[in-house]
């Protein structure tokens, strides 16, 4: 059974009163423990697809099903719960709160969920990404790669079944980016978490199990990662 | 032109984009300027009333003859006999009550020889017409009189009648004043001043002064009152200045990258600085323009309150019309702009220091501010020490200049220490997380994470709270002191006063024989006769009073600064040219026990030895109290102004009252119990400080508005953070609670700091500023209930101020704000 399923999903945005179509009739599946890379030019709909997958946005037509639940039929509170418990987000620019320490950033989703063992769990996650020795540091005291590791630990803190990564290596140098990609691969392999990653990078796409090619809001092709690397 | 275009694009456009926040800042300046304008106009109207219709009805006069207890009619004859073409205008001036409307109006008796019998002329604002019949209560008599005509423009509410009729109605044998108009050039007077000629002509004890001297004296007397009120009105402006500083700081912090680009494109440091100062000036000018209009409207209410205080404590006067002149408006515009520009100097200077390559993140900036905390704490300590030194200094030219300096230094010390206090809120984050969950943690970190701006904001709010608390403590302490003083001083069972309106400078009298009649009443143990006269002492108005000290000695208590028993002090006054003076009199004229004071009484200058100084809170004019027998020796008018009646022990108040009322039947007098007199005293006190509370409310309102505006700015700046929280699973309610917690913490901090600062400011107010301005000793007292209510209101208002920003935060679209970078 697929964890995430897009069924004839379309998404329109209003720009100056004119509807602009971001996604056209997308049908796509991601199974448990599957690593999918979304590739395509800027504006092809990668981020829109991630937002729909994470229940941050709703389709104009069609459905997005997460563990069989239609996200557009859920209320705000239920959506917030899904984001807290089932989805983890990783951003290109890390998005750590500058006023919180490393460990406080990681435990934030757990605190929002009212978890009683948030600190313990956060330290576990930091250990997993090898950042436990930086637990008390503030974000401005970390390098880009370290910040992205912390962001990954935060995304993992609630043990989500779906990870959504938007250009996770976009702000990093090649070596650091590769380390982050290896970490993501390890998460999928060891934790059996499903990962959807939007990327421009061929190196990054090569780490995925499958690559979804998007062009002008449509799924152009779905291929195995090695084939994609050749295309890119 | 190029500069104007750039200013429009770089400064005005962003201001327009954030209309709500810009409006809140403009409103803050407007309210600050409005408070200043309103107090200035109201003070001017209240003081300007000395030039009211009473003064202007006669026209030009050069000198006036006055005397304590009234000018003897023979003075007029003596002056008339002088071989010069003098125009003499004898006057009786008092107040009367119109019985149909119960309005108290000025009554003026002037020489109207040849006019028909019992007619009056009424001011144009009274609404009567010729032929109307008006029932007047004046002195001890009530009479129906016919309106002969209506006076011309600007005659106000004055009632004019012939001198003889006024004397009859008021039971006067003496005149209040003789206005003297001297001819322009008179042969024989060259080289000899008129003043000398006139002084030689009048009897001893009659004073010749330039016309308007009393008006000047009254104005001088009001100086301290108006000065303090003016300072109080500047509080709102000071709070507004904090908010301008905050607005420009936010503008600079937000646009550091933009400033860097401009510098890279060739903008000079001076241009950047001028642009941000221009932003402040624009806010200041618009705010001041709105403030002038608002101030004119607020002046209507303010003049009523200020007028009531002036009438209760200083002088009988009716407020003149409020006049907003071009100079007032120009001054207000200048104040608004200058305060705004000065408040923006520091952030504008910081903007000018931005290097062309700079596009720093906010975190680094906040870090730098955090690093200066220790240094700022040292500055705060130095400023607080400076405040202590300043508070030990005496007045300068009668003004508590160093007191104000001490208050300003305390405010500066508090502002300097706020970043450290705020940083200390880090541990509150841990507690908040335990008690309130993640919202409390995020709120406290939000505050400490944006130290720069939250410090300014907390500074503004805590300043307003401190002012509220300090003035609250001062007024509460003063009120408690007055309540205790009245309990001691107002001890007679009944007080009998004339029905005619009294004031701090007018003391209508009862018929002379009334005391004798009352002493014969079966249940009356003693009657104390008190007579008061308005006098002038060293160019300031004061009151001379005579009381039956033998009665006082037995029944009343009076606390003396020396701590001596009243009987011991009074014994030294009996049948001697000796006096005790009230504390305000002693402070105002630097008089100490055993000094001598010279009073101009009928028969000439008289020397009185000051035996002691007593606590008194009834009048700021200052009182010289002598034994009644001594007073009668120099001013032989036996009519008392007030009678204090003591009943025999065991007599019920009702029975006593019936007996007294029967004894005075037919006399136009009012009888009051000590309780009702005390209640009236407190009513007057509360009315006096109504304007103070009104000004406080404006300052707090400005601060709360600033909090709302600043929270809104915080929400806008941290929209990415709120969007991210939604990505991480935060519900709308959690985001809303976080903003409200932040507002709540800010309010808590401001109330806590404000209360501590307010306590120290109240000490400066009570023991330095009040003492040096008015000369009253106030016992410190915590007005817990009033203070608790006021602070709870401020706290609730701060929470409410967070509602709108919280609403904005919950409505942010997370995918827009998170991906916009």
| pLDDT tens by residue, B255-274 | 777 787 777 677 788 888 98
Please answer yes or no on whether A76 and B731 come within 8 Å at the CB atom: yes
Interface size between A and B, measured as CB pairs under 8 A: 79
Please answer yes or no on whether A77 and B362 come within 8 Å at the CB atom: no
- Model confidence at B426, in pLDDT bands (50, 70, 90)? low
Q: What is the pLDDT of residues B123-170, one digit of tens each?
A: 888 889 888 999 888 877 788 899 988 888 777 788 899 988 888 888
Whole-angstrom distance, CA of residue A41 vs CA of residue B31: 55
Strand partners, B811: none
Please answer yes or no on whether A104 and B727 come within 8 Å at the CB atom: no
Whole-angstrom distance, CA of residue B439 vs CA of residue B432: 8
**E strands in B99-189:** 103-110, 119-122, 133-138, 141-150, 159-162, 177-181
The helix (run of H) or strand (run of E) holding residue B658 is helix B653-663
Which residues from A are below 8 Å from B437, CB to CB?
111, 114
Query: What are the tokens at A30?
Result: 């991601």
Residue of B nearest to A52 (CA): B815
Is residue B642 within 8 Å of residue B497, measured between CB atoms? Answer: yes
Which residues from B are below 8 Å from A47, CB to CB?
815, 819
Q: What is the pLDDT of residues B686-716, one digit of tens each?
A: 888 888 888 878 878 887 777 777 777 777 7
Mean pLDDT value across residues A109-119:
85
The helix (run of H) or strand (run of E) holding residue B734 is helix B732-764
> What integer pLDDT is reported at residue B359 of this predicted model?
44
Whole-angstrom distance, CA of residue A201 vs CA of residue B699: 58
Task: Work out the angle between the directed axes of helices B438-449 and B425-436 (0-180°, nearest 10).
Answer: 160
Residue of B nearest to A88 (CA): B728
> What integer pLDDT is reported at residue B58 of this predicted model?
52
Whole-angstrom distance, CA of residue B744 vs CA of residue A14: 38
Q: Which of A77, A108, A166 comes nearest B731 by C-beta? A: A77
Please answer yes or no on whether B448 and A154 come within 8 Å at the CB atom: no
Q: Whose structure tokens read 């404000």?
A: B754
Mean pLDDT value across residues B113-120:
72
Q: What is the pLDDT of residues B598-622, one digit of tens each?
A: 998 876 788 999 999 999 988 888 9
Query: What are the tokens at B252?
Result: 């600079």
Mutate to test the interface with A, among B365, B441, B729 (most CBs of A within 10 A): B729
Q: Which of B433, B445, B815 comes nearest A57 by C-beta? A: B815
Share of chain A above pLDDT 90, in %: 54
- B281 compared with B552, residue with greater pLDDT: B281
Which residues from B are below 8 Å from A166, CB to CB?
819
> What integer pLDDT is reported at residue A152 of this predicted model?
94
Q: What is the pLDDT of residues B334-343, one digit of tens each?
A: 999 999 999 8
The helix (run of H) or strand (run of E) holding residue B197 is helix B194-201
Residue of B nearest to A55 (CA): B727
Please answer yes or no on whether B363 and A158 come within 8 Å at the CB atom: no
Mean pLDDT, chain B, rounded, equals 83
Is residue B292 within 8 Å of residue B38, measured between CB atoms? Answer: no
Residue B428 predicted with pLDDT over 90: no
Other CB atoms within 10 A of residue B495 CB: 19
Other CB atoms within 10 A of residue B531 CB: 23
> What integer pLDDT is reported at residue B57 of this predicted model?
54
Q: What is the pLDDT of residues B559-588, one digit of tens each?
A: 899 999 888 999 999 888 999 999 999 988
Which residues from A are below 8 Å from B367, CB to CB?
140
Query: What are the tokens at A103?
Result: 């460990």
Q: Which of B364, B449, B818 comes nearest A95 by C-beta? A: B818
Is residue B556 within 8 Å of residue B566, measured between CB atoms? Answer: yes
3-class secondary-structure state, position A44:
coil
Complex ipTM tops 0.85: no
Residue A127 predicted with pLDDT over 60: yes
Mean pLDDT value across residues B519-548:
90
> What integer pLDDT is reported at residue B821 of this predicted model?
46
- Model confidence at B399, in pLDDT bands (50, 70, 90)? confident
Which residues from A are below 8 Å from B727, CB to CB?
54, 56, 83, 89, 95
Mean pLDDT value across residues A126-144:
92
- C-alpha to C-alpha distances, B631 to B341, B405, B535, B549, B628, nearest whole angstrom: 60, 44, 13, 12, 5
Q: Whose structure tokens read 């009665």?
A: B551
Q: Which of A51, A84, A99 comes nearest B449 by C-beta? A: A99
- Model confidence at B20, in pLDDT bands (50, 70, 90)? confident
Please answer yes or no on whether A99 and B821 come within 8 Å at the CB atom: no
Q: Which of B421, B464, B460 minimizes the C-alpha distance to B249? A: B460
For A190, half-sphere exposure in the C-beta direction (CA atoms, 13 angstrom radius) is 10
The helix (run of H) or strand (run of E) holding residue B526 is strand B524-537
Whole-angstrom distance, CA of residue B721 vs CA of residue B449: 12
Please answer yes or no on whether A56 and B721 come within 8 Å at the CB atom: no
Count Cβ atoms within 10 A of the Cβ of residue B683 and give its class: 0-12 exposed, 13-18 middle, 19 or more buried: exposed
- Model confidence at B542, in pLDDT bands (50, 70, 90)? very high
Q: Which of B450, B721, B727 comes nearest A83 by C-beta? A: B727
Whole-angstrom distance, CA of residue B226 vs CA of residue A80: 60
- C-alpha to C-alpha distances, B362 to B14, B450, B603, B705, nearest whole angstrom: 19, 9, 81, 25
Is residue B174 within 8 Å of residue B71, measured between CB atoms? Answer: yes
- Which strands form A194-199's sheet, in the order they lie side by side? A87-90, A162-166, A194-199, A35-39, A210-215, A218-224
Residue A85 predicted with pLDDT over 80: yes
Q: What is the pLDDT of residues B754-808, one digit of tens each?
A: 899 999 999 999 999 988 888 888 999 998 988 888 888 888 888 888 888 888 8
Count Cβ atoms within 10 A of the Cβ of residue B101 and give its class: 0-12 exposed, 13-18 middle, 19 or more buried: exposed
The helix (run of H) or strand (run of E) holding residue B423 is helix B401-423
Q: Whose structure tokens read 């510098």?
A: B263
Mean pLDDT value across residues B456-463:
79
Residue B187 predicted with pLDDT over 70: no
- B12 compared with B361, residue with greater pLDDT: B12
- Model confidence at B429, in pLDDT bands (50, 70, 90)? low
Whole-angstrom distance, CA of residue A169 vs CA of residue A54: 20
- B94 compared with A197, residue with greater pLDDT: A197
Mean pLDDT value across residues A163-180:
90
Which residues from A are below 8 Å from B732, CB to CB?
76
> What integer pLDDT is reported at residue B364 of this predicted model?
46
- A228 compared with A47, residue with greater pLDDT: A47
Q: Which of B363, B441, B814 comes nearest A56 by C-beta? A: B814
Could you please report the per-residue DSSP string of B401-418?
HHHHHHHHHHHHHHHHHH
Task: Work out the angle between the directed axes of helices B784-801 and B803-811 (0-180°, nearest 10).
Answer: 20
Whole-angstrom distance, CA of residue B360 vs CA of residue B261: 12
Give Cβ neighbours of residue B635 (< 8 Å, ≥ 6 apart): B68, B69, B531, B533, B546, B601, B602
Task: Name residues 135-164 of chain A within 8 A of B (Cβ).
Answer: 138-140, 154, 158
> What integer pLDDT is reported at residue B3 of this predicted model?
67
Whole-angstrom distance, CA of residue B254 vs CA of residue B97: 65
Mean pLDDT value across residues A189-193:
92
Whole-angstrom distance, CA of residue B43 vs CA of residue A88: 66
Is residue B241 within 8 Å of residue B26, measured between CB atoms? Answer: no
Q: Whose structure tokens read 């817990």?
A: B784
Rg (CA), chain B: 32
- Return the DSSP state at B769: I
Query: What are the tokens at B13?
Result: 């456009």
Please answer yes or no on whether B727 and A158 come within 8 Å at the CB atom: no
Mutate to test the interface with B, among A112, A137, A158 (most CBs of B within 10 A): A112
Q: Which of A93, A112, A166 comes nearest B728 by C-beta? A: A112
Strand partners, B414: none
Residue B49 predicted with pLDDT over 70: no
Handedness of CA B14, B18, B24, B30 (dihedral sign): positive
- Model confidence at B646, in pLDDT bands (50, 70, 90)? very high
Whole-angstrom distance, CA of residue B807 vs CA of residue B736: 7
Q: Which of B241, B594, B629, B575 minimizes the C-alpha distance to B411? A: B241
Count Cβ atoms within 10 A of the Cβ of residue B509 and give its class: 0-12 exposed, 13-18 middle, 19 or more buried: buried
Q: What is the pLDDT of residues A12-57, one digit of tens each?
A: 987 777 888 889 999 999 999 999 999 998 888 999 999 999 888 8
> What integer pLDDT is reported at residue B2 of this predicted model?
59
Residue A106's φ and ψ, nearest 5 degrees, are -70, -35
Q: Which of B485, B493, B534 minimizes the C-alpha distance to B641? A: B534
Please answer yes or no on whether A97 and B727 come within 8 Å at the CB atom: no
Query: What are the tokens at B636?
Result: 């032989």
Mean pLDDT value across residues B191-198:
77
Residue B293 predicted with pLDDT over 90: yes
> What integer pLDDT is reported at residue A165 of this predicted model?
94
Residue B746 predicted with pLDDT over 80: yes
Mean pLDDT value across residues B643-657:
90
- C-alpha to C-alpha distances, B771 to A141, B488, B767, B768, nearest whole angstrom: 55, 22, 6, 5
């Amino acid at each position: 059974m697929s964890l995430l399923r897009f069924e004839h999903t379309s998404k329109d945005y209003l720009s100056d009163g004119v509807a602009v179509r971001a996604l056209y009739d997308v049908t796509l599946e991601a199974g448990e423990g599957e690593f999918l890379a979304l590739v395509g030019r800027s504006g092809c709909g990668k981020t829109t697809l991630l937002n729909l997958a994470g229940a941050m946005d709703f389709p104009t037509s069609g459905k997005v099903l997460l563990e069989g639940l239609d996200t557009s039929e859920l209320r705000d509170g239920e959506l917030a719960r899904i984001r807290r418990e089932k989805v983890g987000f990783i951003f290109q620019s890390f998005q750590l709160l500058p006023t919180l320490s490393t460990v406080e950033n990681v435990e934030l989703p757990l605190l929002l969920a009212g978890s009683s063992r948030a600190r313990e769990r956060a330290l576990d996650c930091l250990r997993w990404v090898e950042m436990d020795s930086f637990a008390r540091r503030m974000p401005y005291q970390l390098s880009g790669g370290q910040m992205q590791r912390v962001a990954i630990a935060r995304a993992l803190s609630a043990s989500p079944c779906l990870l959504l990564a938007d250009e996770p290596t976009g702000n990093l140098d090649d070596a650091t980016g590769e380390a982050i990609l290896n970490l993501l691969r390890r998460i999928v392999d060891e934790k059996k978490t499903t990962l959807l990653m939007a990327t421009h990078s061929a190196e990054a796409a090569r780490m995925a199990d499958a690559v979804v090619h998007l062009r002008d809001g449509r799924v152009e092709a779905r291929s195995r990662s090695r084939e994609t690397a050749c295309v890119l | 032109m190029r500069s104007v275009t750039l200013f429009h694009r770089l400064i005005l456009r962003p201001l327009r984009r954030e209309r709500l926040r810009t409006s809140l800042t403009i409103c803050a300046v407007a309210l600050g300027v409005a408070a200043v304008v309103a107090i200035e106009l109201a003070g001017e109207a209240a003081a300007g009333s000395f030039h009211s219709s009473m003064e202007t009805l006669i026209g030009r006069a050069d000198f006036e003859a006055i005397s304590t207890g009234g000018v003897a009619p023979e003075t007029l004859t003596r002056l008339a006999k002088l071989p010069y073409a003098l125009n003499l205008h004898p006057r009786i001036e008092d107040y009367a009550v119109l019985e149909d409307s119960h309005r108290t109006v000025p009554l003026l008796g002037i020489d109207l020889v040849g006019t028909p019998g019992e007619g009056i002329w009424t001011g144009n604002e009274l609404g009567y017409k010729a032929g109307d019949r008006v029932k007047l209560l004046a002195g001890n008599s009530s009479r129906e009189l016919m309106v002969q005509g209506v006076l011309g423009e600007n005659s106000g509410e004055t009632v004019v009648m012939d001198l003889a009729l006024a004397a009859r109605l008021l039971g006067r044998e003496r005149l209040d004043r003789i206005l003297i108009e001297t001819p322009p050039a008179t042969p024989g007077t060259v080289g000899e001043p008129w003043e000398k000629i006139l002084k030689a002509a009048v009897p001893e004890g009659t004073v010749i002064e330039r016309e308007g001297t009393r008006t000047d004296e009254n104005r001088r007397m009001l100086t301290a009152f108006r000065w303090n009120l003016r300072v109080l009105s500047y509080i709102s402006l000071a709070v507004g200045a904090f908010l301008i500083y905050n607005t420009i700081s936010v503008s600079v912090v937000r646009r550091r990258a933009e400033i860097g680009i401009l510098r890279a494109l060739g903008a000079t440091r001076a241009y950047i600085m001028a642009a941000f100062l221009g932003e402040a000036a624009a806010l200041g000018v618009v705010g001041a323009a709105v403030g002038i209009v608002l101030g004119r409207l607020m002046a209507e209410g303010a003049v009523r309150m200020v007028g009531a205080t002036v009438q209760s404590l200083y002088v009988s006067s009716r407020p003149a019309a409020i006049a907003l002149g071009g100079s007032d408006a120009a001054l207000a515009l200048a104040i608004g702009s200058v305060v705004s520009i000065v408040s923006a100097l520091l952030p504008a200077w910081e903007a000018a220091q931005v290097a062309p390559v700079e596009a720093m993140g906010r975190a680094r900036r906040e870090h730098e501010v955090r690093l200066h905390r220790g240094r700022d704490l040292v500055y705060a300590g130095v400023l607080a020490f400076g405040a202590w030194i300043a508070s030990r200094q005496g007045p300068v030219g009668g003004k508590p200049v160093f007191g104000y300096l001490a208050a300003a230094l305390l405010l500066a010390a508090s502002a300097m220490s706020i970043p450290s206090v705020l940083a200390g809120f880090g541990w509150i984050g841990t507690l908040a997380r335990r008690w309130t969950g993640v919202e409390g943690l995020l709120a406290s970190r939000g505050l400490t994470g944006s130290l720069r701006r939250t410090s300014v904001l907390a500074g503004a709010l805590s300043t307003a709270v401190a002012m509220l608390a300090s003035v609250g403590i001062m007024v509460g302490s003063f009120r408690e002191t007055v309540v205790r003083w009245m309990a001691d001083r107002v001890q007679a069972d009944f007080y009998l006063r004339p029905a005619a309106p009294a004031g701090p400078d007018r003391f209508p009298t009862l018929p002379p024989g009334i005391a004798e009649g009352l002493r014969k009443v079966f249940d009356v143990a003693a009657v104390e006769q008190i007579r008061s006269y308005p006098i002038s002492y060293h160019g300031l108005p004061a009151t001379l009073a005579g009381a039956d000290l033998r009665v006082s000695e037995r029944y009343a208590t009076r606390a003396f600064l020396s701590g001596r028993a009243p009987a011991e002090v009074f014994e030294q006054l009996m049948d001697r040219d000796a006096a005790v003076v009230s504390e305000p009199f002693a402070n105002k004229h630097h008089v100490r026990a055993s000094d001598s004071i010279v009073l101009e009484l009928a028969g000439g200058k008289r020397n009185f030895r000051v035996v002691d100084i007593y606590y008194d809170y009834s009048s700021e004019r200052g009182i010289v109290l002598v034994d009644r027998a001594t007073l009668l020796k120099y001013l032989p008018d036996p009519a008392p102004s007030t009678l204090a009646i003591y009943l025999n022990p065991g007599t019920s108040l009702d029975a006593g009252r019936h007996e007294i009322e029967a004894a005075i039947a037919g006399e136009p007098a009012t009888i009051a119990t000590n309780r009702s007199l005390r209640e009236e005293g407190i009513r007057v006190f509360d009315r006096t400080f109504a304007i103070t509370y009104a000004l406080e409310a404006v300052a707090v309102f400005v601060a709360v508005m600033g909090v709302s505006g600043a929270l809104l700015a915080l929400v806008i700046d941290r929209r990415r953070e709120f969007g991210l929280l939604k990505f991480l699973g935060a519900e709308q309610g959690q985001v809303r609670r976080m903003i409200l917690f932040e507002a709540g913490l800010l309010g808590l901090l401001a109330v806590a700091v404000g209360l501590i600062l307010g306590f120290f400011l109240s000490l400066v107010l009570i023991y330095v500023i009040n003492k040096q301005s008015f000369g009253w000793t106030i016992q410190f007292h915590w007005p817990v209930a009033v203070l608790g209510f006021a602070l709870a209101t401020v706290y609730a208002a701060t929470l409410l101020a967070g509602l709108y920003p919280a609403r904005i935060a919950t409505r942010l679209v997370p995918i827009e704000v998170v991906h916009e970078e």
